[in-house]
């Protein structure tokens, strides 16, 4: 599944004579996961059970959010899940949105609920209140405070999709993760913090960096595993990467030429890393695959 270019050995991480990293192909892996899900959904339905249902709620007209939701709905269709889609004007309002979520919570044909973030600015939406209103059992994104608390305690619960996808990609490298040093750049509730907790759960030593970190280059330079979730084009320079490190780039940014780039300087980093995710085609497709996996897990519960 993982595409390979020239590289000496993937088994150890310390100062390998790396010439070029192997590509962690999230697009191909996500396709594989969706195909498996499609078969599993068909098997359930063949026994007379209803299709799993994912409700998607999109408020406002943010172009990027529209693209993300469209891709999620397409994937839903591909695996044979029902999609209940609500596209709402940005003036819909907090109270009406809470009412809609309550309806979806009570609807037995809905197994997962996703509210696309961010909610429109300047409209008095309280994202925390909205996320907390979703039934934790239908929390397809894993953002409900109950589920985030469970993650912190190491208990089984829906896990946020992007961090879950990152861990799945990391497993593809076939490395012994225990004891390795991971550096996570970014501390958001949806990527940075949960991925740090998942790495900790797997017995890595974890450093979390953010905008106030004093020497980012030095921190990244000590990492066996780098997760970049910042939202700044190519902030993580290739020269910072320790030889043989694994690089997972979450960022989706446009550079000054309008080209889609990650948070990592890809080519320079690939010359030092053992494995690296591309942008696009790395973490992004995995986020969608994990969303549908979370929905299917909720359906099975
Ligand atoms: P947030 O904006 O919520 O968080 C960004 C984090 O980066 C913050 O913790 C911030 O620090 C830190 N940061 C900002 N500037 C710097 C800097 N110069 N040095 C070090 N740290 C810095 O972003 P998200 O976590 O939501 O998303 C991050 C990126 O990932 C974005 O590009 C987003 O589009 C992308 N994304 C991609 C997904 C996918 O499926 N591929 C899914 C979700 C997000 P501080 O806390 O101090 O402000």
pTM: 0.94
Which residue's C-alpha comes closest to atom 13 of ligand 1? 211
What is 49-135's CATH topology? Rossmann fold (3.40.50)
- Is the predicted pLDDT of residue 279 greater than 70, yes or no? yes
Query: Is residue 162 over pLDDT 70?
Result: yes
What does the pLDDT average to over 187-212? 98
Ligand 1 centroid from CA 188, angstroms: 6
- What local confidence, expressed as pLDDT, does residue 20 receive? 80
- Residue 174 gets the label, from left (phi > 0), alpha (psi -120 to 50) or beta, of left
Going by alpha carbons, the residue nearest to atom 5 of ligand 1 is 230
Confidence of residue 202 (pLDDT cuts 50, 70, 90): very high
Nearest to 177 by CA among 223, 131, 123: 223
Contacts (Cβ under 8 Å, ≥6 apart) of 189: 143, 148
> Which of ligand 1's atoms lies nearest the C-alpha of 262?
32
Burial of 99 (0-12, 13-18, 19+ CB in 10 A): exposed
Mean pLDDT computed over 73-78: 97
Q: What percent of the chain has pLDDT over 90?
A: 92
- Using DSSP's 3-state secondary structure scheme, residue 9 falls into coil
Pocket of ligand 1 (CB under 6 A): 162, 185-188, 190-192, 209-213, 216, 229-232, 235, 250-253, 283-284, 287
Index of the ligand 1 atom closest to the CA of residue 253: 32
Which residue's CA is minimally distant from atom 39 of ligand 1? 284
Pick the atom of ligand 1 nearest to 279's CA.
Answer: 41
Q: Please state which CATH number belongs to domain 160-284.
A: 3.40.50.720
Mutate which of 231, 281, 284, 285 for ligand 1? The one with the most ligand atoms within 8 Å of its CB, which is: 231
The pLDDT of 273-284, averaged and rounded, is 97
**What confidence score (pLDDT) does residue 284 get?**
96
| Cα 108 to ligand 1 centre (Å) | 35
What's the pLDDT tens digit per position in 12-60?
A: 444 444 458 899 999 999 999 999 999 999 999 999 999 999 999 999 9
pLDDT band at 2; cut points 50, 70, 90 = very low
Where in the sequence numbering do the catalytic residues fall?
72, 116, 141
Parse the chain into domains and list their residue ranges.
Answer: 49-135, 160-284
pLDDT digits (tens, 9 = 90+) for 225-257: 999 999 999 999 999 999 999 999 999 999 999
The span from the CA of 286 to the CA of 2, in Å, is: 13
Residue 101 to residue 63: CA distance in whole angstroms: 23
Question: What's the CA-to-centroid distance between 90 and ligand 1, angstroms?
Answer: 24
Ligand 1 atom with the smallest distance to the CA of 229 is: 28
95: CA distance to ligand 1 center in Å? 29
């Amino acid at each position: 599944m993982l595409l390979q270019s020239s590289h000496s050995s993937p088994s150890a991480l310390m100062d390998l004579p790396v010439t070029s990293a192997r590509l962690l192909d999230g697009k191909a892996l996500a396709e594989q996961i969706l195909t498996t899900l499609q078969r599993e959904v068909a098997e359930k339905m063949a026994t007379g059970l209803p299709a799993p249902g994912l409700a998607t709620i999109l408020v406002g007209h943010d172009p990027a959010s529209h693209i993300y939701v469209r891709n999620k709905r397409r994937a839903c269709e591909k695996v044979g899940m029902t999609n209940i889609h609500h596209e709402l004007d940005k003036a819909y309002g907090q109270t009406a949105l809470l009412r809609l979520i309550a309806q979806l919570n009570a609807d037995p044909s809905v197994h997962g609920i996703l509210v696309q973030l961010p909610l429109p600015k300047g409209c008095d939406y309280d994202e925390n209140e909205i996320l907390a209103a979703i039934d934790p059992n239908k929390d397809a994104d894993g953002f409900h405070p109950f589920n985030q608390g469970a993650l912190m305690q190491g208990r089984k619960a829906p896990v946020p999709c992007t961090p879950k996808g990152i861990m799945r990609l990391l497993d593809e490298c076939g490395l012994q993760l225990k004891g390795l040093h991971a550096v996570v750049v970014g501390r958001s509730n949806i990527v940075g913090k949960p991925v740090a907790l998942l790495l900790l759960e797997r017995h890595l030593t974890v450093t979390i960096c953010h905008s106030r970190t004093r020497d980012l280059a030095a921190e990244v330079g000590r990492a066996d595993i780098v997760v970049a979730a910042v939202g700044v084009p190519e902030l993580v320079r290739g020269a910072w990467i320790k030889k043989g490190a694994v690089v997972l780039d979450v960022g989706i940014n446009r550079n000054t030429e309008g080209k889609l780039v990650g948070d990592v300087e890809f080519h320079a980093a690939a010359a030092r890393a053992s494995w690296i995710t591309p942008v696009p085609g790395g973490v992004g497709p995995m986020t969608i695959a994990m969303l549908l996996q979370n929905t299917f897990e909720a359906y099975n519960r």
